Structures are given as structure tokens and as C-alpha cells.
Chain A
Amino acid sequence: MTEVLHELLRGSLDHCVKCTICETACPVSNVTPLFPGPKYAGPQAERYRVDDEPSVEWSVDYCSGCGICTQVCPQGVKIAEINAQARHKLKQQKGVPLRDRLIARPTVLGRLGTPVARLANASLRSRPVRVAGERVLGVHRDAPVPRFAGRTFRSWARHHSSPASGRRVVYFHGCGTEYYEPDVGEKTVAVLEHNGYQVDIPKQGCCGLPLQSNGLFDDARKYVLRLARALAPHARDGALIVGNATSCTLMLKRESREILGLLDDPDLKLVSERTYDVCELLLELHDRGELKTDLQPVEKVVAYHAPCQQQGHWIGKPALELLALVPGLEVRELDARCCGIAGTYGLKREKYDVAMAAGADLFDQIRTSQAGLVACDSETCRWQIEHATHKPSAHPIELLHRAYRL
């Protein structure tokens, strides 16, 4: 990590006035004493973390990395970023379990599972397998795991040719779309093309976010830089980069640069500036009067949850504005901070209950919302929500796709 950046984050802690506003908003410390809170683990404990000396504070392992503390801090302290780095230091010292190394690599899991999807899906839903998996590996037996689609998004993309247009975007599909929800990728591409974009889908890999969340910074840097190298030439040609996985687009925009100390990498900087969340891009299009409005009625009651990571884009809730354009669609905005899963956090044996408790407010609101469907911009959040509430979920783009009748 560059010293300058380390100082930038660490320096921000001197702005901490101990007001505890971060702790009033923390979804984790509000439900468990195992994590005393972002202020305690971050700006307070950070003063005792000395380079080359053992970590003094181990509770930061229970921080889920949702980033809400940084969002609410009125003093601009980079609390979540400081805590992510502290977690990395802690992991360096304590070691990273095999489980974390495994679940932090969606591309490896995806490549292994996709060819044997039926077997893999059946195994992941078999009680004895899950009990064994919990004992041996430490993945909680009830934790929500997605279904392998049995085909990759890229296998579709290879045969897809986007109509030529002066307006070009690069689609960053992320691992969730690639291995588990290729149909969401196809719909995203269709909605973009319907709005006049030529959609290029270059070869790409994982953004490294799960590695970063699990404290595996060296590997996370390799992943995100490899991705930046793949996307940057297109950005240099003037294309915007657009993704539907909101935590992965946030990783490209901001998190990797700050948390992994990659402020100076020119490719990543360019990619960061040119990356858009798909709903953000479409809302900007709408505000310029250029979004196609041939939206047909979708008679549905939908509850919308903006994930923590989506809120970290600091652009509000574009999905809400877009869904409001769909005739017949009744959208109920949910008002809970977090679903608890935080990527891979809620999969872990020791953290599953914490994650479920952190999401309890959201689940209650969904249950009482009388909505038939939950819309949410992040796939891991959707899987958690489906697991906890047994309600189906969709990415907002899927609802637009339906309304466009594509």
C-alpha cells in the first residue's frame, strides 16, 4: 500500500470527535456484542495499531464491511476503509482460513460448479452435505448459496452481436451474472440496446471484492488490476463501463482504490471514473430526456431495497426513480439499512446468526409489505432476502426489461 494513501485514511481519524453517530447506524453492532462498533474498532483502536506490531483489537473481524459508518460520519472519517485495512492486518497475523480463501473466489467456484451444476446444486441443498460442509469448512448449513445456472453468461455473449451504434458501453457483468444469473445479464444487455447503446462484452474476471472483504489484499489487487487492464482500453476509446452488480461497480469506482491503496494506478483511475451502475446510467439518460419510455404496464406490487453498497455510490436510489416510470407497478420503498449478508460474511458459521439478525428489520418490512416481489440491486443481498423471507426477488433491470416487453 502506498504510504500516502495509508496516511490519507489514517489521517482522517483525527477528525473523529467520538460523536458515536457511526455506531447508531451500524447494522452489526446493533445486534451483537461481538462487534462493539465502528468507532471502537476503527478510529479508537487504530491509534494502537502500529506497523510491524501485533494487532491489538480482534473484534474488527466481525465488521461486515457494509460501509454505512463512512456514509453517516459527518466529519469525513473513512471508518469502513480504516476497518477494512485493520481486518487485513489482523488476517495477516492470524492467518486466513481455507474457507475464506475459497468463498472469496467466485470465479474458481463458478468454474468448478458450472459443468456439474445439477450435482452441485443438489449437493448444496442436501442437508448431510451442508452439515458436513459446516463442520469441515465452516460454511453455515443454512446460509444462502446461489444455484449454478449450468451455463455461463459468456457462452451467451460469445454468440451475441450488439447492433452497431455511435453510443458504446462496455458491459461489466460480474461473477454473479456469469455463473448464477446469466439471464439478468441478457436482460441488462437487451435494455441497454433498446436504449440505443452498442454493448461490448470484453473478456473479464472478478473485481476482487470478496478477496478484499476477507482481508486477502494481495490477491484482491491482482484481480482488480487484471480487470482494470481488460476494461481500460475500451474506456480510453470513449466507452462507458456499466454493470448490474452494484457492489462490484462500487469496488471499481471507489473501494479498491481507497482500501487496497491503488489510487495511483492509471488504468484503475480511468475505469473508476467511467464506471456506472446500470440504474445510474439509465436515470441520467432519463434526465437528459433520452430514455425510451415505451414502457408497458407491469401490474405488480414490488418492495425495493437499496443495498448498503448501492448507497455507497452516493447517488441516491436511481432504481426507485426508474421503477416509478413503469405503469401499473406499485413500488414500496423499504427503509432498513442492511440485509446482513455483506457478500460472504453471512455465509460463515460463526457469523450467520449475526447476519440474519442484522437483516431482521428488512425481513420484517418485506413480510408486512404485501409485495409479491423484492427488487434489489445486489445479487448476494437478493439471495439473502429470498432465503430469509421466501419471497422471490429481481434486479430492478429485470422489471424494466419486462416493461419494455423485450
Chain B
Amino acid sequence: MRPSLHYDVLVVGAGVAGLTAGARLAESGARVCVLAKGVGSTHLAAGTVDVLGYDPDRVESPASALPAFVGARPDHPYALLGVDAVGPAVDWFATRVERGPQPGYRYVGSLERNHLLPSAVGAARPSALVPETMAGGDLGAERPVCIVGTRVLREFHASLCAGNITRLGIESRALEVKFEIDRPEVNALGLGRRFDDPAFRRDLAARLGPLVQGDERVGLPAVLGLRDPHGAWSDLQERLGRPVFEIPTLPPSVPGMRMFEALRAALRAAGGRLVMGARVVGAEREGARVTALRVDTAGRETIFGARSVVLATGGFASGGLALGSDWMVRETMLDLPLRGVPPPGSPRFRPEYFDEQPMAPVGVAVEANLRAEGTENVLVAGAALPGAEPWREGSGEGISLTSGYRAAELVLASDGVAAAA
């Protein structure tokens, strides 16, 4: 069927990989449309850029550890992308956040050294680039910590967090304060909104000020503002006269929302389009070329034509891959060939969550240039790539950013879009 709408490139998925690919392509002059059935995993993640955290022991420096890491794993996305591809992608991201809709908000750090940030339960989590609002929580520093919680936020327990930080050898204690909140259901989102209000911060700081002691730094759940996190965080630091840092909470993740908004703004600023709520249900093909995607739009299918497609639909959690009750695994958009599926009869899962899970590295079979096997013009980015276990490796955002960025470059190189621009 003849396409109704034409783009140079269609990107499917609005997570970190999809938005990065889309924005990068649009910035190079390509006509890009990002199609997504909904918001991606940003809102569920910590909002940090984890590049490499474990191999399998904790990694101090991703830059130093990556060559050996990929040497031992020739099928890993980082091996495919090349270790040198990570830096430019991460730098690109950091500058897009700085140009983003939250004035002054930025990421700090580099591939040279991982931060060691406390999680909501007080475990140390290695991460390369982190929002400035979190950096003060680095457990590599000795400075004592005061974790501030509030009863209204059920998913953040200050004493649990502080207790575990103490176990890691950092002096730490918990404080409970009352947050003035008038909502029937309180979550990080509701609190994030409140912290945008200077009067709310002033009141909180006035009550908190007398309670913190010595040279304690103050850890709060990551709710310090949705619109102006830099302003909210700076304001609190100034009022308390000491470092303040955010600790990621359960979803909805306020720092994750900021990350999404920064990437979305980059896409929009470059003239890229984003269609949210649209499900891709199939493709039009000419031989090995996908010439168009069939999209379930209101009332009927609409055919979106394009010269290239970037598939950034995620893994099992995002619905890019699905495991049926018949134990068959499929790629859900184009039924592309997969790699890494455990052979029939062999174990697929192990009992412990953080065990090496046989099903975990399953992904779309790709060639070295990220092209999906059996296609000429479908490139794969993000968690749909095979060979990684991001939650064990602490590598999710690193893989998504790098593969999204790289996919865009490969499309530009193969497609002549850049030359036209």
C-alpha cells in the first residue's frame, strides 16, 4: 500500500535510545518521526547515566574497564558499537541536558570514574554521569550523611537508607520531617511539584536547618523540583548552608522525567516529530527493505513511509520482545530474527533475580553495523540489542545512549540524509 506520510527516518520507541537517535538525526537535517506506543523507561529509571558498574565486581572506572569487558564479550552491544563510541554519545547527552528546558540543570562526571550513589535502600550504586543534584551523595566521600525522609512518601524510608549507608562505613543517620502536602495520594511526582514552590522550600529549610548537625550533608528523596531542579537544589543548599543531594526513588522517577524532557526538547528543537500513543502493527517491504510502517492510528491504519527505520522498542520489560505462554520468544514489531534464545530443553530462568539469567541477553539479531539481520534498512538500538544484562552490569543508559547515537550516525552515513541537509 502507498504510504500516506513520508519521513526520511522513522524511529520506534521513546526511551533513551529512541529519543537520542531521533534527536541526533533531526539535528543533522533528517526529517524524523519518532513513533511510540507510550512513554519509555525513563520514568522508571534512576535518571543517572550508568555506563558500566559491574564486571562482575564493582567497576571504578568505566573507561579503564571497558576494553577488557568487551574483549571477554564479543557479542555485547559495547563490543559491537566500539568502546570509543561511548564518550561522544555521553558528551552529546550532557550538552543536550544543559540546553534543555530546566535552566542550569546538568549532569556531572565522566567515564573515568564512577560515582557511588546511595540507592533508596542505602546500597551503593556505581554510575558514570549523574545529575548535579545527586553528586553530593557520593559514598566515596567520608563526610557524614543525614538522610531526610517523610512519612507521606511511602516508598522512601530514611532509617533503612541511613542504616545501610552506615554499614558501608559512612557515618549516617535518619531524620523524619513533616512535609506540608494536601494530596490524597502522595508520590515522588506530587512532592516534586511542591519543591518547585520557593515558599515550600523555605518552610522546609527553616524546620530542617536546626535539626542537621556538624558538617553533615543532607540526602533527600529525588523530588527536588520538576520545572527548575537546579534552582530548587541550589536554593536548599544555600538555605541549609551544606551540600544537599537527591536519592532516586521508586517510579515515577522525577530525575527520569527530567531526562525524558531534555531529550524530547532536543528532538523538538531540531524539528523532529513525536507521535505518542501510536502502535506500529506491521511493515510494507520491498525485498529486504522496509519501505513503510503500518501504524494503528485513530479510525484506521496509517502508512508512514521512510527510507530507514530505527527500532528502539526495548526488551521484555518494554514490550519490544515478548515471551509467549508457548515459550516462544518474538520481536513484537516486525518479527525479526533473534539472537541468544536458549535452545529448547535448556534452562531459561534461574531462581535468583540477580543470577545470570539465560533469557536476559536475548535481542534482535544484528550485524556489526546495527542492521537487523534480514533487513537492509532497519537499525536496532537500546535494550532490543542482544548480548547485554544491563541490570547486572549497570550499563543500561550507556548502551541506550551509545547505540541510539551510533544508529543515527550509521543512518546518516548510509542514507545520504546528511549530505542533503
Q: Which residues of A contact B (CB under 8 A)?
A: 19-21, 23-25, 30, 33, 36-37, 40, 59, 70-76, 250, 252-254, 272-273, 275, 283-284, 287-288, 311-317, 333, 335
Q: Is B283 interfacial (CB 8 A cutoff)? A: no
A-side contacts of B373, CB under 8 Å: none
**A71 to B40 alpha-carbon distance, docked (Å):** 12
Binding site for A on B (CB under 8 A): 2-6, 33, 36-40, 43-44, 182-185, 187, 189, 193, 251-252, 257, 265, 268, 273-279, 295-300, 302, 305, 318-319
Q: Please count the residue pairs between chain A and chain B whose beta carbons lie under 8 angstroms apart in the complex.
A: 108
Q: How far is the CA of A20 from the CA of B253 in the complex (A)?
A: 9
Find out whether the CB atom of A312 lies under 8 angstroms from the CB atom of B299.
no
Q: A272-B299, A335-B268 are in contact. Are A312 and B277 (CB under 8 A)?
A: yes
Give the complex CA separation of A53 and B249 in angstroms.
37
Cβ contact within 8 Å between B268 and A72: no
Contact A24 B300 (CB under 8 A): no
Query: Across the interface, do A74 and B273 meet the contact criterion of CB distance under 8 Å?
Result: no
Assess whether B187 is in contact with A20, with CB atoms less than 8 Å apart: yes
B39 touches A33 (CB 8 A): no
Distance of A73 Cα from B300 Cα, bound (Å): 20
Contacts of B40 in A (CB 8 A): 74
Complex contact B187–A33 (CB within 8 A): no
Q: Give the CA-CA distance A206 to B302 in the complex, in Å.
A: 26
Residues of the B chain whose Cβ atoms lie less than 8 Å from the Cβ of A317: 273
- Tell me the smallest distance from the CB of B29 to a CB of chain A, in Å: 15
A25–B43 Cα distance when bound, in Å, is 11
Residue of A nearest to B261 (CB): A335
Q: Name the residue of chain A whose CB is nearest to the CB of B274.
A: A316
Question: Can you name 19 extra interface pairs (CB under 8 A) apart from A273-B300, A312-B298, A314-B298?
Answer: A23-B187, A23-B252, A33-B184, A71-B38, A72-B38, A74-B38, A75-B38, A75-B319, A254-B299, A272-B299, A272-B300, A284-B4, A287-B4, A288-B2, A311-B276, A314-B277, A315-B275, A316-B275, A333-B268
Q: B305 — which chain A residues lie within 8 A by C-beta?
A: 287
Q: Which of A21, A30, A73 has the most CB of B within 10 A?
A: A21
A73 touches B38 (CB 8 A): yes
List the 5 closest pairs (A to B, CB-CB), nearest first. A253-B299, A74-B38, A71-B277, A254-B298, A314-B278
A70 to B39: give the CA distance in the assembly, Å.
11
Q: Which residues of B contact A283 (CB under 8 A)?
A: 5
**Can you name 13 A-B pairs with beta carbons within 8 Å?**
A19-B251, A20-B43, A20-B252, A30-B193, A33-B184, A36-B185, A72-B276, A253-B298, A273-B300, A284-B4, A287-B4, A314-B296, A315-B298
Q: Are B185 and A37 in contact (CB under 8 A)?
A: yes
Name the contact of B276 in the complex, choosing from A19, A71, A75 (C-beta under 8 A): A71
A21 touches B39 (CB 8 A): yes
Instruction: Determine whether the beta carbon of B185 is less than 8 Å from that of A40.
Output: yes
A20-B187, A314-B298 known; A74-B277 Cβ under 8 A? no
State the Cβ distance, B172 to closest chain A Cβ, in Å.
29
**Which of B43, B193, B295 is close to A21, meaning CB atoms less than 8 Å apart?**
B43
Cα A272 to Cα B299 with chains together (Å): 5
A273 to B265, CA, bound (A): 33
Min distance, Cβ B240 to any Cβ of chain A, angstroms: 28
**Contact at B189–A23, with CB atoms within 8 Å?**
yes
Evaluate contact between A311 and B252: CB separation under 8 angstroms.
no
- The CA of A88 and the CA of B275, in the complex, are separated in Å by 29
Instruction: Say yes or no: B251 contacts A252, CB within 8 Å.
Output: no
Q: Are B298 and A313 in contact (CB under 8 A)?
A: yes
Q: Which residue of A lies closest to B296 (CB)?
A: A314
When distances are taken between beta carbons in the complex, the residues of chain B under 8 Å from A25 are 39
Question: Closest Cβ of chain B: how far from A235's Cβ, in Å?
Answer: 12
C-alpha spacing A400/B47, complex, angstroms: 43
| Given A21-B43, A76-B37; A311-B302 close (CB under 8 Å) | no
Of B3, B39, B44, B183, which is within 8 A of A36 by CB? B183
A313 surroundings in chain B (CB, below 8 A): 297-298
- How far is the CB of A173 from the nearest CB of chain B, in Å? 18
Give the docked Cα–Cα distance between A253 and B40 (Å): 26
Q: Which residues of A contact B298 (CB under 8 A)?
A: 250, 253-254, 312-315
A20 touching B300, Cβ below 8 Å? no
Q: Report yes or no: A76 in contact with B279, Cβ–Cβ below 8 A.
A: yes
Q: Are B257 and A19 in contact (CB under 8 A)?
A: no
Say whether A287 contacts B3, CB under 8 Å: yes
Complex contact A24–B276 (CB within 8 A): no
Contact B189 A20 (CB under 8 A): yes
Q: Distance (Å) between the CB of A78 and the closest chain B CB?
A: 11
What's the Cα separation between A252 and B275 when bound, in Å? 20
A314 contact set on B, CB distance < 8 A:
275-278, 295-298, 302
A246 vs B289: C-alpha distance when bound (angstroms): 35
What is the CA–CA distance of A275 and B299 in the complex, to the nearest angstrom? 8
Q: A72-B39, A76-B37, A314-B296 are in contact. Are A24 and B189 (CB under 8 A)?
A: yes
Residues in B with CB closer than 8 Å to A36 are 183-185
CB closest chain-B residue, reference A33: B183
Cα(A75)–Cα(B39), bound, Å: 9
Residues of B within 8 A of A254 (CB): 298-299
Q: Return chain B residues, CB-CB under 8 Å to A23.
A: 187, 189, 252
Shortest Cβ gap from B38 to chain A (Å) = 3
Complex contacts, B37 vs chain A, CB 8 Å: 74, 76
In the bound complex, residues from chain B placing their C-beta under 8 Å from that of A72 are 38-39, 276-277
| Cβ A311 vs Cβ B277 within 8 A | yes
Q: Are A74 and B319 in contact (CB-based, < 8 A)?
A: yes
